Structure 1
């Protein structure tokens, strides 16, 4: 394909990697705004959320996908299907491996899966979280990554230090086809606001809870409407779904303290997103074994 050096490019990229490889943080940094939720818990991302990077020379749409893993539930299978579906639709893939963790079976599993698409979709190897280790370890990780598969490019980055993030953007853009803008200026995501609001509540609910909880949490927005007679206030009614009564107690906390913290944190992010005051009404509901129930999964949007 011949390309004109100063032609405008536009297209789609996605980051893949095992859970907690820093994919959502990279996306938020490139977009310059919080559009994907980040959490220290694996399997945090559940939807393919698109963030839009606007540049003079290009428009890069980054699709944030769940971490690829060997599935143990129907939800796990659906999340993996979502990842594979996304791979088949993007122009370039960034394979993320954190600098502070040895390349392991999870990375090899992803490399095997990626090798199937690498013939038609370029894959850029990205060593993330370089701020956590020394130069020597970054160099060793780049070599280890190189042995996994053939990459179009390799780049070490840190979203925390903003190290080489522009270089990463340049490498991704260089793999996009020439084309006009796909989204209007100023738009940062094409996700419905309700999806983003639900994700922000889920992120707040995930922080600080025990390890058994992350997969069991889902959030639905029952209603999101401007308050009658007030143009500066939006009423948000949301339900946090868990699978067991014991989990409900964890989310609510002693005397409702935990749930109030969740509400305060989520409200701050939602107000920044919507640009208006928020009244957030949160309820916790036991939706038994929803991860394994096709009917419940459909109801919860999977």
Structure 2
């Protein structure tokens, strides 16, 4: 029997967890953006080698909750950590705050799995500063190993994965050799649309945005028609999302279409609409209807 196990990627928002997951599995399965809280759901990435399968789980960044959506995201992260064989706690070397790291790690105190520390973005800090950060992080939590890495360049990532492979228990293979994620196609499509909204919209609007893919239909002429709704919280946000003469919505749709065509190798037609769902980020029923559940 080979080795297998679940490894949760946890940490504060926007520390590079999704970039690391994509790097490890060799394919984009989790969206990224410069904005915090881009990841809202558990994203599973599967790495399969001979006699080894590691299931990595990317989780939403742990923050001080301000809304019901935030609370669901934090709950998702903590629950995932509790179900894993190993937890990788990620910190951004360029913006480590000992106070905030301590707060985040306290939220994970109930996780019984061993914890390793991955300090990301080492390509952006001086070596002396990095050593100081490692020393500071060592004082606030008990990590079995510490790995300075760069999820962007790949520096240190293979060494960390090799260590994870060594410490995982014996176990069965959970997924087929060629599977890198268990996320449904519709979920990935919705995430790409949301990523493009995040990349093109500023300030608070992206955080009030949710995407529901209603249909994916393959037409006989070789075109896949995707129907999706972008939800916002207020009428004023709807106007911004659509843009003058529909310019913003067209831009988001075009960027999503290009990436999805490259991914699926088919011609795609995007049918995007924008609807208002009042205060959906703080309404439990709306959150459930949009796919956000505890």
Given the two structures, how large is their TM-score scaled by the length of structure 1?
0.93
Aligned partner of 2:230 in structure 1 is 240
In structure 1, the partner of 2:180 is: 188
Deviation at 1:171? 2.0
- 1:142 is displaced (CA, Å) by 1.3
Within 5 Å, give how 1:169-188 maps onto structure 2: 169-188=161-180
Aligned residue for 1:103?
97
Alignment RMSD: 1.4
Aligned to 1:156: 148
Q: Which residue of 1 aligns with 2:261?
A: 271
Alignment of 1:80-159 (within 5 A): 80-117=74-111, 120-159=112-151
Match of 2:192 among 195, 200, 210: 200
Q: Structure 1 residues 171 and 266 mapped into 2: Cα distance closer, same or farther (>3 Å)?
A: same
Range with bigger deviation, 258-267 or 172-181:
172-181
CA contact (8 A) 1:21 1:97 kept: yes
Match of 2:200, SS state, is coil
Candidates 283, 289, 293, aligned match of 1:299? 289
The answer to whether the 8 A contact 1:218-1:240 is kept is yes
Give the Cα–Cα distance (whole angstroms) in 1 for the partners of residues 216 and 69 of structure 2: 26
Q: C-alpha deviations, 1:234-287, integer Å up to 9, x for none?
A: 110001111012212222222222222211211122223333221111111111
CA-CA distance at 1:177 after TM superposition:
1.3
Deviations 1:124-178 (A, max 9, x none): 1010011212222222221121112000110000022210110111122223211
Q: Residue 257 in 1 paired to residue 247 in 2?
A: yes
Residue 56 of structure 1, CA deviation: 2.2
CA offsets 1:75-125 (integer angstroms, 9 cap, x no match): 1111111112111111111111101113243211111122322xx301010
Equivalent position to 1:38, from 8, 27, 32: 32
Decide which moves more: 178-187 or 24-33.
178-187
User: Equivalent residue for 1:13?
Assistant: 7
Give the structure 2 partner of residue 286 of structure 1: 276
String of CA shifts for 1:1-38, please: whole Å, max 9, x gaps: xxxxxx62111111111110111000010010000111
Provide structure 1 residue ranges, at least 5 long, that are not aligned to the other structure: 1-6
CA contact 1:26–1:159 (8 Å) conserved in 2: yes
Q: Is 1:66 equivalent to 2:60 in the alignment?
A: yes
In the alignment of these two chains, the number of paired residues is: 292
Gaps of 5+ in 2: none
Q: Does 90-99 or 165-174 show the bigger shift?
A: 165-174
Name the SS for the 2:20 alignment partner.
Answer: helix
Aligned counterparts of 2:48 and 2:261: Cα–Cα separation in 1:
23
* Higher mean displacement: 81-90 or 263-272: 263-272
> Partner of 1:125: helix, strand, or coil?
strand
